[in-house]
Amino acid sequence: MEKMTLSETDKKWDLIVIGGGITGAGVFREAVRIGLKVLLVEQNDFSWGTSSRSSKMVHGGLRYLKEGRFLLTRTSVHERERLLKESPGLIEPLEILVPVYSDHGPGKQALSLGLSIYGLMAHEKQHTYYEPKAFTAMVPGVKEDKLVGGFSFYDAQVDDARLVLRLINEAVLAGGTALNYTQVREILRDSRGSVYGIHLDDVETGESAEFQTETVINATGSWAEKLHPSPKEGLHLRPLRGSHIILAQEALPLTKAISFIHPEDNRPIFATPWEGGVLIGTTDVDHGRDLSLEPYISDPEFAYLLEGLEAYFPSLSISEDQCLSTLAGVRPVLSEGKLAPSKESRESVVWTDKGLVTVTGGKLTTFRKMAFDTLKAAKPFLPSSINTVVSQAVFTKVPVNLSEDDMVPKEVWRRLYGRYGLVATDIVKDSDAKEWETIPGTNTIWAEIRYAAKHENIRHLSDLLLRRVRIGILTPEGGKMHMDRIEALCRPVLSWDDRKWSHEKTAYEALWKSAHRIPRR
Ligand SMILES: Cc1cc2nc3c(=O)[nH]c(=O)nc-3n(C[C@H](O)[C@H](O)[C@H](O)COP(=O)(O)OP(=O)(O)OC[C@H]3O[C@@H](n4cnc5c(N)ncnc54)[C@H](O)[C@@H]3O)c2cc1C
C-alpha cells in the first residue's frame, strides 16, 4: 500500500467509503471487486476504532440465541462457516468450554438444547458433554465445587485488526485507494440534496481537498450519526463500551477458551487464549465519554473482570500483577433507549439518503453480509452497468497444503498467509532466519515488523505495535523490553531520524499508559 497525499490522490470516484474499520473495509473490498473505482478514508489509523478492540470471535453468539435472535445467530453461524473455509490462518476454529454448576448458571439440559440448535445452524453437531473429571482435566484450576460437568463447542477466532488490514490490502492490490489519517469534514450536496462529493482533511498535515462522487458510504460505526442522523424517530446509536484484560499464558494456562457466568450480573464472560496471551472479557457499559478520545477500561470494569476470574479460578489468585494490558472498545449499537446494555440488539441497519448510504451496528462476524446489503442499497446511485451481486470468496486464495520448509515451520506459513495473503512470501524472502523466530509471549515473528513498517502505511509507532502486529497489548508494558530490536527493524525502512523516533516512542508510551493501562498498578 503506497502512502499518498491528498494532492496526489485522484479527485473523481465512483464510490467513497468513510471509515477504515471492518464495515468500511468489507464494503471497500466488495466494491472494488465489482469493478468500481473506490476510495476509502479513515480519520485515524486503519482499524483504530472498534474493529481492533473486539473479543476477536467470529461467532454466531450463543447468547443471542438465548435472547431469541434466531436470524442474527443463523446469519452469523453461516458467515462463520464460510469465513473458516475462506480464511485459513486468519480465522481459525476456537473450542469453547462451558462449565455446568448445580447452584447457578444454565443447567445441562438448557445448554444441551441451545448447543444442539447452534449446531443445527451449522449443519453438524459441534458439542460434547464431559463429566467433571474429564472437564477439569481440560481447564486446570477451574472451580470444582458444585461442578456437575461441562460442554465443549466450536466457534472461531481472528486477529480483528489483521482481518481489516487484509481486506484493505487486497482491495488496494485490486485497484482501490485507501488513506488513513484522513477525515471527512463535510458531505457535499447540490441544491436538490443529492450528494456530489466530500471535503477531506489530512488530520496531521492540515492538507485539505474536495473529492467528487455521487455515492458515499458512511461506515463510521459509533460515529455514524455525526454524518447521517438516524432517520428513525427514537432509534439512535448508543455507544456501549466493552473492555478486556489480557493476561500472560502462565497466569491462566488455557489451551481452549472457557465461558462462565459472572456472579454479579449473570453475563457470560470469556477467557480466550489468543495470539500467545489470554483475553478476558468483556464488559458492557454506557461509554459516556468523548468518542474522539482513545477508550480505556474504568476501574470498576477492571475489578469486575478480576472478580469473575476469582470466582471461577480461586486457586490461581489472579491479580493485576499478571495483567499484560487492557483493551477497551465502543460498540455501535442501535437503541431505543429502553434495554440494559447487554440486551440491546447487535443487528445492523442501512439508511439511504440521496447518494449517502449509512451502514452501522452489526458485528465483525457479519461484515461480508453488511457489505452486500450496503452495495445493494447503493445500486441506484452507481453506474448502471454495475452488478452488485457477488459470489466470490472474500480473500485471494492462499496455499493450504503447505510442505515443511527447512527453516519456516508450516504453522508460521499458515499464519502469515492468513494475515498477509500472497505477499507472505515477501515477508520471508526479505528477512533472515533470526527474524522467523516468534517474539516471546506472542505468535508474531520479528520479520512482520519490518514488513508492516515498510508496506502497510504506518504513520506512528502505535499503528505498528497496536494494530499491524499486536505486541503492544501482548507483551509487558507495550513491548518496552523489545524496543531496541523494534527500532533496528523499522527505522531503516521508515526513514525516521533520531528526533522522530524519540518523539514516536514517547508518544506511544503515553498512549499506552492512558489507553492500555493496568488500573491499580
Ligand atoms: C468489546 C467488544 C467486543 C466485541 N466482540 C466482537 C466479537 O467477538 N465478534 C464480533 O463479531 N463482533 C464483536 N464486536 C462488535 C464489532 O467489533 C463491531 O461491530 C465492529 O468492529 C464495528 O466495526 P465498524 O467498522 O462499523 O466500526 P469501527 O471499527 O469503529 O470503524 C469506524 C471507523 O470510522 C472512522 N471514522 C469516524 N468518523 C470518521 C470521519 N468523519 N472521517 C473518516 N473516518 C471516520 C473511525 O475512526 C473508525 O475507525 C465487539 C465489540 C466490542 C466493543
pLDDT tens readout for residues 490-505: 999 998 999 999 999 9
Q: Which of 87, 200, 331 to mutate to test the pocket of ligand 1 (most atoms within 8 A of CB)?
A: 331
Question: What would the mean pLDDT of 299-324 be, rounded to a whole number?
Answer: 96
Centroid of ligand 1 to alpha carbon of 428 (angstroms): 31
ipTM, 2 decimals?
0.99
C-alpha cell at 212: 467528487
73 lines ligand 1 (CB under 6 A): no
With vertex at residue 452, the alpha carbon angle to CA 448 and CA 454, rounded to the nearest 5 degrees, is: 120
Ligand 1 atom at minimum distance from 57 CA: 8
Radius of gyration of the chain (CA): 23
pLDDT at residue 63, as a whole number: 80
pLDDT at residue 345, as a whole number: 81
pLDDT at residue 454, as a whole number: 96
**What HEC string does 94-152 produce?**
EEEEEEEECCCCCCHHHHHHHHHHHHHHCCCCCCEEECHHHHHHHCCCCCCCCEEEEEE
Ligand 1 atom at minimum distance from 44 CA: 47
Question: What are residue 216's DSSP bridge partners?
Answer: 16, 356
Q: What superfamily would CATH give domain 410-515?
A: Alpha-glycerophosphate oxidase, cap domain (1.10.8.870)
CB 56 within 8 A of CB 157: yes
pLDDT at residue 219, as a whole number: 98
How many C-alpha atoms does 155 have within 13 Å on its Cβ side? 27
Question: What are residue 285's DSSP bridge partners?
Answer: 241
Look up the CATH number of domain 242-335. 3.30.9.10
Using DSSP bridges, classify how beta strands 38-41 and 15-18 pair: parallel, antiparallel or unpaired: parallel
Centroid of ligand 1 to alpha carbon of 413 (angstroms): 29
DSSP H/E element including 198:
strand 195-202
pLDDT score of 178 more than 80: yes
Residue nearest to atom 52 of ligand 1 (CA): 54
CB 109 within 8 A of CB 147: no
218 lines ligand 1 (CB under 6 A): no
Q: Where in the chain is the domain with CATH 3.50.50.60?
A: 15-50+161-235+345-381
Angle between helix 446-455 and helix 410-420 axes, rounded to 10 deg? 20
Instruction: Give the whole-angstrom CA distance, residue 361 versus residue 238.
Output: 10
Ligand 1 atom at minimum distance from 183 CA: 42
Q: How sure is the predictor about 293, in pLDDT bands with cuts at 50, 70 and 90?
A: very high
**Ranges of H-type helices in 37-100:** 62-66, 70-86
Q: Which residue has the cell 435472535?
A: 69
Centroid of ligand 1 to alpha carbon of 52 (angstroms): 8
Phi, psi of 349 (to 5 degrees): -130, 155
pLDDT tens readout for residues 449-502: 999 999 999 999 999 999 999 999 999 999 999 999 999 999 999 989 999 999
Centroid of ligand 1 to alpha carbon of 281 (angstroms): 17
Q: What superfamily would CATH give domain 15-50+161-235+345-381?
A: FAD/NAD(P)-binding domain (3.50.50.60)
Question: What would the mean pLDDT of 1-28 be, rounded to a whole number?
Answer: 94
pLDDT score of 141 more than 90: yes
Q: Where in the chain is the domain with CATH 3.30.9.10?
A: 242-335
CB-count exposure of residue 487 (10 Å: 0-12, 13-18, 19+) = middle
Q: Which residue has the cell 445467530?
A: 73
Instruction: Give the whole-angstrom CA distance, residue 28 versus residue 7.
Output: 21
DSSP H/E element including 484:
helix 483-494
CB 23 within 8 A of CB 166: no
pLDDT score of 405 more than 70: no
Contacts of 221 (CB under 8 A, 6+ apart): 19, 21, 23, 49, 50, 51, 330, 332, 360
Instruction: Give the whole-angstrom CA distance, residue 503 versus residue 492.
Output: 16
Whether cis (ω within 30° of 0) applies to the bond prior to 182 is no
Centroid of ligand 1 to alpha carbon of 36 (angstroms): 24
Centroid of ligand 1 to alpha carbon of 80 (angstroms): 18
Residue nearest to atom 26 of ligand 1 (CA): 221
Residue nearest to atom 19 of ligand 1 (CA): 363
C-alpha cell at 2: 503506497
pLDDT tens readout for residues 419-446: 999 999 999 999 999 999 999 999 999 9
Instruction: Indicate the SS3 state at residue 486.
Output: helix
51 lines ligand 1 (CB under 6 A): yes
Instruction: Indicate the SS3 state at residue 87.
Output: coil
Q: Which of 184, 363, 463 to mutate to test the pocket of ligand 1 (most atoms within 8 A of CB)?
A: 363
Instruction: Give the whole-angstrom CA distance, residue 350 versus residue 330.
Output: 19
Question: What are residue 260's DSSP bridge partners?
Answer: 269
Mean pLDDT computed over every residue of the chain: 95
pLDDT score of 408 more than 90: no
Using DSSP bridges, classify how beta strands 92-101 and 257-261 pair: parallel, antiparallel or unpaired: parallel
Instruction: Give the whole-angstrom CA distance, residue 428 versus residue 438.
Output: 13
Centroid of ligand 1 to alpha carbon of 101 (angstroms): 35
C-alpha cell at 357: 448510504
Q: How sure is the predictor about 406, in pLDDT bands with cuts at 50, 70 and 90?
A: low
Instruction: DSSP for 314-339, please give it.
Output: GGG---GGGEEEEEEEEEEEEE-S-S
Instruction: Give the whole-angstrom CA distance, residue 418 versus residue 420.
Output: 6
Q: How sure is the predictor about 228, in pLDDT bands with cuts at 50, 70 and 90?
A: very high
pLDDT tens readout for residues 45-104: 999 999 999 999 999 888 888 888 888 899 999 999 999 999 999 999 999 999 999 998
How many Cβ atoms are within 10 Å of 22's Cβ, its own excluded?
31
Question: What are residue 238's DSSP bridge partners?
Answer: 333
